[in-house]
Amino acid sequence: MGQNPRIASVNPKARMVYVNDQIKAPNIMIIDDEKKNLGTFSRRRALEIAQEAELDLVQISYDMEKMLSTVRLTDYGKYMYQKGKEEKEKRKAQKGKEMKEIKISYGIGDNDLALKMKKAEEFLKNGDNVKVSIRLRGREKIYADKALEKILQAKETLSPYGRSQYDTPKKEAQGYSIILFSK
């Protein structure tokens, strides 16, 4: 059990974690690492128990009405490591689907198109949405039918992995695009 006060100061927005002497509640309910309730003790007795076990008391919650603090009897460093790991997993799970864009030209060769479609297929399999777009500049606009053909070919190739909201590609100011949503 550390004698110096320890505070989780890694993230300034994070809630402060009270440890050992920082816990001011007169009654303390102790829970061990196996989540087994060891009982409710006075503050002084709870600190003695932690010192005998050579572990720390880490406050989990505080009930103002009962003046009761629920604490975990554990190693502080190990506790903070686990807590950080769990928060990282939560953030990872919250991450939404991303929109990936594949740009092709109206004159793209079959092998190059197949390579780009393979990459788009990977994105769709990973759960991301894919936007396939063709940009036509200046005189290239006369090849709009070829551009439309390439976009539809791409849509057909990716149909087992993603679905489009619309049957036809969207006409944009400088070309065409279609968005495929992962299945």
Domain with CATH 3.10.20.80 in the chain: 20-93
Q: Which fold has domain 20-93?
A: Ubiquitin-like (UB roll) (3.10.20)
Q: Which fold has domain 99-182?
A: Translation Initiation Factor IF3 (3.30.110)
Per-residue pLDDT of the chain (183 residues), as tens digits, is 444 444 444 444 456 788 888 888 888 888 888 888 888 888 888 888 888 888 888 888 888 888 888 888 888 888 888 888 988 888 876 666 778 889 988 888 889 988 999 999 888 888 888 899 998 888 888 888 888 888 888 888 888 888 887 888 888 888 888 988 887
Domain with CATH 3.30.110.10 in the chain: 99-182
- Map the chain to HEC letters: CCCCCCCCCCCCCCCCCCEHHHCCCCEEEEECCCCCEEEEEEHHHHHHHHHHHCCEEEEEEEECCCCEEEEEEECHHHHHHHHHHHHHHHHHHHCCCCEEEEEECCCCCHHHHHHHHHHHHHHHHCCCEEEEEEECCHHHHHHHHHHHHHHHHHHHHHCCCEEECCCCCEEECCEEEEEEEEC
The reported pTM is: 0.48
